Amino acid sequence: MSRVLFISEKFIKDNTPLDENIDMKKIRPTIWQSQIQYIQNLLGTLLYEDLLAKIQAGTLAGDDLTLVDDYIADCLTYWCLYELQIPLLFNFRNKSTANNNSDYSQPISTKEMERIENRYKHKAEFFSKRITLYLEANPTLYPLYMKSNDIDELLPESGKSTVSVYLEGMMPQCRKYLYTTDGEV
């Protein structure tokens, strides 16, 4: 079964500081994993699968093309950079996990890697928020956003219900800080 990707390996190499010589077998699975983990969570299962079907059929156009090209591609790129840190630093071999090393470079420390990961994570979160704001501002363009037909389908992150807090027996002095939308306790 072929995996449909929102961005190509060429796109990620052309739009990031990744070297051209990085093995695609490290990048391709990371793109796929990142789009499942992060993009599907932002779009919800129905919109996510609809877009993938259109990409596979070659019928992606109009508003869907705008969503993918102007919002999803940037977001997915930064989630990939965030997730690629470990696969690029280590090789998983038959007998052990080894640090990647070459004659002219040294692997970075764990602290430096964490700093880089955090930078890419903040950028990815920024682009994730842009997707959510765009979809929420355009509900008529994307009717599958915030819809679910089955228990196995993900609702978008912003469409998930929050947990209620049980406040019975709360200390009376704390009650003055709780208000409903109409201003009553």
Q: What pLDDT, in 10s, does the model give residues 1-26?
A: 478 999 998 999 999 988 888 888 88
User: pLDDT tens for residues 94-151?
Assistant: 554 445 555 556 667 778 888 988 999 999 999 999 999 999 999 999 999 887 666 5
| Residue 91: domain span | 9-175
Residue 126 domain-assigned? yes
Residue 129 lies in a domain: yes
Asked whether residue 185 is assigned to any structural domain, the reply reads no
What's the pLDDT score for residue 132? 95
Structurally, the chain folds into a number of domains equal to: 1
| 48-62 pLDDT per residue, tens | 999 999 999 999 999
Tell me if 182 is assigned to some domain. Answer: no
| Residue 180 within a domain | no
Q: Which residues have C-beta within 8 Å of that of residue 98, sequence separation ≥ 6?
A: 90, 91
Whether 38 maps to a domain, the answer reads yes
Distance CA 21, CA 78 (A): 19
